């Protein structure tokens, strides 16, 4: 039975497809949006539309940006000889918040997961290998401490080791099964400082 009018029900349904938003949260958000001033709703809708239309992958590290090259990659003060490999842009943001890392990143947009049909060709490994043709001293693998993250780390390590480039893995301190975006900056800093060579 439809309790609300079609517009309200549709808004709730659209919000409910967002990750981490269940039906109750979707309902709460829908009523909040409905009660917002019209100008605010318009700004929110425009921000979502403009982000969707203008955000693309950085031509270097594959993170999300509205430029051809993201601010990190275009920063001349960053150490381009050190590349940290992360699973998604949220992990990159988590490390940037520590203020400790001065190198650059490579965002895979996923991890190897054969049970879901995600192999090496479904993540941004080809772009990483192309970057290694440049002058690179170290690749820091900072994938999550999940089975998929560990599988991806080992695969990348086996790909890179024959090139002679130093390959390291972030140290523990990041809990097994933990998602980098939810870990505090101190733990992330310690994990980066205590990384080990693979």
* pLDDT per residue as tens digits for the range 4-21: 678 999 999 999 999 999
The reply to whether 14 and 98 lie within a common domain is: no
89 and 125 inside one domain: yes
Together in a domain, 76 and 42: no
pTM of the model as a whole: 0.78
In a domain, 59, yes or no: no
- The verdict on residue 1 lying in a domain is no
Question: What long-range pairs does 148-153 form, CB within 8 A, spacing at least 24?
Answer: 148/111, 148/112, 148/113, 149/87, 149/111, 151/111, 151/112, 151/113, 152/87, 152/108, 152/111, 152/112, 152/123, 153/198
Q: Which domain holds residue 45?
A: 6-54
Quick one: 42 and 130 in the same domain? Answer: no
Q: Is 150 exposed, middle or buried (0-12, 13-18, 19+ CB in 10 A)?
A: middle
pLDDT in tens, 130-158: 999 999 999 999 998 888 988 999 999 99
pLDDT of residue 61: 95
State residue 174 phi and psi, 5-degree precision: -85, 120
CATH of the domain at 23: 1.10.8.420
Number of domains within the chain: 2
Question: Is 102 domain-assigned?
Answer: yes
pLDDT digits (tens, 9 = 90+) for 111-122: 999 888 898 889
Residue 187 lies in a domain: yes
Give the whole-number percent of the chain exceeding pLDDT 70: 94
Cβ within 8 Å of residue 60, ≥6 positions away: 69, 70, 73, 104, 131
Cα-only R_g, the chain: 20
Task: Say whether both 37 and 74 belong to one domain.
Answer: no
Supply the pLDDT for residue 1.
Answer: 47
In a domain, 106, yes or no: yes
Q: Domain containing 174 — which CATH number?
A: 3.40.1360.10
Q: What value does the mean pLDDT take over residues 9-35?
A: 93
């Amino acid at each position: 039975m439809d309790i609300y009018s079609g517009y309200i029900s549709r808004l709730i349904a659209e919000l409910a497809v967002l990750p981490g938003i269940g039906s109750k949260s979707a309902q709460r958000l829908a009523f909040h949006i409905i009660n917002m001033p019209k100008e605010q709703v318009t700004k929110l809708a425009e921000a979502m539309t403009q982000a969707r239309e203008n955000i693309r992958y950085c031509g270097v590290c594959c993170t999300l940006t509205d430029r051809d090259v993201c601010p990190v990659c275009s920063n001349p003060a960053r150490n381009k000889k050190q590349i940290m490999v992360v699973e998604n842009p949220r992990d990159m943001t988590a490390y940037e918040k520590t203020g400790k890392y001065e190198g650059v990143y490579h965002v895979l947009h996923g991890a190897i997961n054969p049970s879901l049909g995600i192999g090496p060709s479904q993540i941004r490994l080809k772009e990483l290998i192309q970057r290694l043709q440049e002058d690179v001293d170290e690749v820091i693998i900072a994938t999550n401490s999940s089975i998929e993250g560990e599988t991806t780390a080992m695969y990348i390590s086996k790909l890179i080791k024959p090139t002679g480039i130093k390959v390291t893995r972030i140290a523990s301190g990041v809990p097994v099964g933990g998602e980098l975006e939810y870990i505090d900056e101190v733990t992330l800093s310690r994990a980066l400082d205590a990384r080990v060579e693979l």
